Structure 1
Amino acid sequence: MSLMKTELQKMLDGELYDASDATLVEMRDKARTLTAQYNLQMGKPLAERNDTLKQLLGACSTIDIQPPFFCDYGSHITAGENFFMNFNCVILDCAQVTIGKNVMCGPYVQIYTAYHPLVAEERIKGPELASPITIGDNVWIGGGAIICPGVTIGNNTTIGAGSVVTKDIPDNVFAAGNPCRVIKQINPDKTEFV
């Protein structure tokens, strides 16, 4: 006898799921309450804000997310040490979002694990999909960049402002554009600025 998967399990396994499932709605409502509380703490000391972030994200150490910040669940976001995210960023964490250490995001960065069927007939039925996103160590993501579902960004990489990242980006490169593409390799022995 096979057990039926919950909508949460389907979501995290990358299968079609029903986002209106009561458990998922309850989880999102809890995250909305915590993000609203966090966003009201703008101007308060980082340590005080991080108490709320720990409730939202679970274990977090030296991270600094400038309010306002928005996410779907919070519980599917893992961030390494020295993570910085500037104002007005969004993480739709319907699948796992893994962020390495020393990652910096400019304002208005959007990280989307969620997506929908392309065929309109299927899409209007309401099912959703999600694919995990992984961001390596020492990554800089410029303001207004959009990271699409299923993308991996390699270590020591810089994503230019306003980029739309639709495919994996390797280690040690500067990538930019819509769609985002590798512009050049980064030479660790040379000081360069974007």
Structure 2
Amino acid sequence: MPLSALEKMKSGDWYSCLDPELEALRTAARAAAFEHSTTPPDVRGNIGEKLRALFAACAGDARIEAPFHCAYGVNITLGKAVFLNAGCVVLDSAPVTIGDYAMLGPNVQIYCADHHKDPELRQQNLERAMPVTIGKNVWIGGAAIILPGITIGDNAIVGAGSVVTKDVPAGVTVVGNPARVMG
């Protein structure tokens, strides 16, 4: 029996993102993000109730400022005291793990979807999901973009506006487009 699009997505195989089961999951994520982003902060707390329930795992003291957007939510894990500033976008078609005490500035974007390079296959909406892992005590400056399959090591810093195209070793600072270790 052939694998469903969701099963292919979870296994890292090529799949069509235009699938009714995946659309239902995205609809639930949009509703949870909408609730989070439109509930007054003193009522919402650190993370809206529906959004917190959607995540794979989320420490009680993790905080997300509004607005926030995620593709599915179910693939997001937030460690202790994680902070995502306003405007963050997490396109979590694969697991996105953000370690304890990590801080993401405003408008940081994390992408897991890798679209097919062949234009004919791209027209078929084929993509694959590649995980993103952000270590403990990482600081990611505002408007940085983290591409699919990236790992950022513990205690690293990603400068504002950087585009991270390669793994970042622990304890280093990267800046620029593409992001490079500061020397």
TM bucket (normalised to shorter chain) is over 0.9
1:24 aligned partner: 22
**Residue 44 of structure 1 pairs with residue 42 of structure 2:** yes
**Residue 92 of structure 1 pairs with residue 91 of structure 2:** yes
- Give the 3-state SS of the residue equivalent to 1:90 in structure 2: strand
- Give the 3-state SS of the residue equivalent to 2:94 in structure 1: coil
- Give the 3-state SS of the residue equivalent to 1:67 in structure 2: coil
d(CA) in 2 for partners of 1:149 and 1:118? 14
1:121 aligned partner: 120
d(CA) in 2 for partners of 1:10 and 1:91? 20
Q: Name which of structure 1's ranges 168-177 and 58-67 shifts more when overlaid on structure 2.
A: 58-67
The structure with the larger Rg is 1
Distance change in 2, residues 1:46/1:37 (3 Å): closer
Q: Which amino acid aligns with 2:154?
A: N
d(CA) in 2 for partners of 1:48 and 1:103? 15
Q: Name which of structure 1's ranges 54-63 and 33-42 shifts more when overlaid on structure 2.
A: 54-63
Q: Which amino acid aligns with 2:26?
A: R
The answer (yes or no) to whether the contact 1:65–1:85 under 8 Å persists in 2 is yes
Shift of residue 20, structure 1, vs aligned partner: 1.6
- Give the 3-state SS of the residue equivalent to 1:128 in structure 2: strand
Q: Aligned pair count?
A: 182
Provide runs of 4+ in structure 1 moved above 4 Å.
Answer: none
- Give the 3-state SS of the residue equivalent to 1:94 in structure 2: coil
- Give the 3-state SS of the residue equivalent to 2:126 in structure 1: coil
Matched-pair identity in %: 45
The answer (yes or no) to whether the contact 2:96–2:132 under 8 Å persists in 1 is yes
Shift of residue 51, structure 1, vs aligned partner: 2.3
Q: 1:1-194 counterparts in 2 under 5 A?
A: 3-45=1-43, 47=45, 49-60=47-58, 61-184=60-183
Distance change in 2, residues 1:109/1:42 (3 Å): farther
Distance change in 2, residues 1:52/1:10 (3 Å): same
Shift of residue 52, structure 1, vs aligned partner: 3.1
1:33-73 Cα shifts (integer Å, max 9, x gaps): 11111110243345374423322215422111000000000
d(CA) in 2 for partners of 1:167 and 1:103? 19
Shift of residue 100, structure 1, vs aligned partner: 0.5
d(CA) in 2 for partners of 1:179 and 1:72? 24
d(CA) in 2 for partners of 1:42 and 1:110? 24
Distance change in 2, residues 1:48/1:176 (3 Å): closer
Q: TM-score, normalised by structure 2?
A: 0.94
The RMSD of aligned alpha carbons is 1.4
Shift of residue 125, structure 1, vs aligned partner: 1.7
Unaligned runs of at least 5 residues, structure 1: 185-194
Unaligned runs of at least 5 residues, structure 2: none
